[in-house]
Amino acid sequence: MGQAMATGQRIVLVEDEGPLRAILARNLRVRGYEVVEAASGAAALAAMAGAPPALLVLDVNLPDLTGWEVLRRLPPEARRIPLVVCSAVPPHPKRVREFAGITFLQKPFPLDAFLRVVADALGAGRVAAEEVGR
């Protein structure tokens, strides 16, 4: 993993833990991705305004909204992009049904698992729900 460089695909990375967000963003950028960082639900919605990114990486527990609420507030065209949801708690089956097609990454996760999930999500478009890092 990591041999091929991305060609400027834009990723919105939503994570309220600053050190983790910085590590993830830095590792995505060195692989050629354009990263827009957001630390809250409101910032995530602002980052998603306009043209949808190639990928949304979304933490569930944010200081103002849950990641699930962010998803509910997105316009329909933004709901069709690949989505990686990160959380320490696996999503309830109801959430998996409500947001069909999410890729779930359980915290804490190894960096290589994160990078693999991102590459897979961008390579395959909307991927089937998958759990990594259990």
**Which tens digits make up the pLDDT trace of 22-73?**
999 999 999 999 999 999 999 999 999 888 899 999 999 999 999 999 999 9
pLDDT tens string 73-121: 998 888 789 999 999 988 888 888 888 778 999 999 999 999 999 999 9
Locate all alpha helices (DSSP H) within the chain, ordered by sequence. Answer: 18-29, 41-48, 67-73, 93-98, 111-124
Cβ atoms of residues 34 and 63 within 8 Å: no
- Which band of pLDDT confidence, cut at 50, 70 and 90, is reported for residue 4? low
Question: Could you tell me the two tokens for 27?
Answer: 């590792």
Dihedral of CA atoms 28, 37, 79, 129 in degrees, nearest 10, equals: 50
